Amino acid sequence: MTDANVRIPEEAKDRLAAIAAAEGLSLRAYLARMAPTLLTPAERAERAEKARAALKEWNGYAPTASQERDLDHELDRRLAQVTGR
């Protein structure tokens, strides 16, 4: 296996290293363990489409694009409220 060098801000590296250490892992091991759990934008879109199809089949829920945007904005608003952003 070949290692790769990634340039990130020192603060980000320090934070990730602290999280890794708290779990008893090196930063390298932590990132290697985390990578397979992250989704690409295409994978997220595919999962979202499957979820929409399942909801429509299960209970007929099929929001319009406008309703989805409104719901996304409401979720963003609520997340900003609780995170202080």
Tens of pLDDT, residue by residue, the chain (85 residues) = 788 899 999 999 999 999 999 999 999 999 999 999 999 999 999 999 999 999 999 999 999 999 999 999 999 999 999 998 7
pLDDT of residue 26: 96
Identify the pLDDT of residue 11: 97
Q: Is the dihedral of CA 52, 56, 61, 67 positive or negative?
A: positive
Q: For the whole model, what pTM was predicted?
A: 0.61
The CA-atom distances, in angstroms, between 17 and each of 27, 34, 81 are 5, 13, 29
Q: For position 16, what pLDDT does the model report?
A: 96
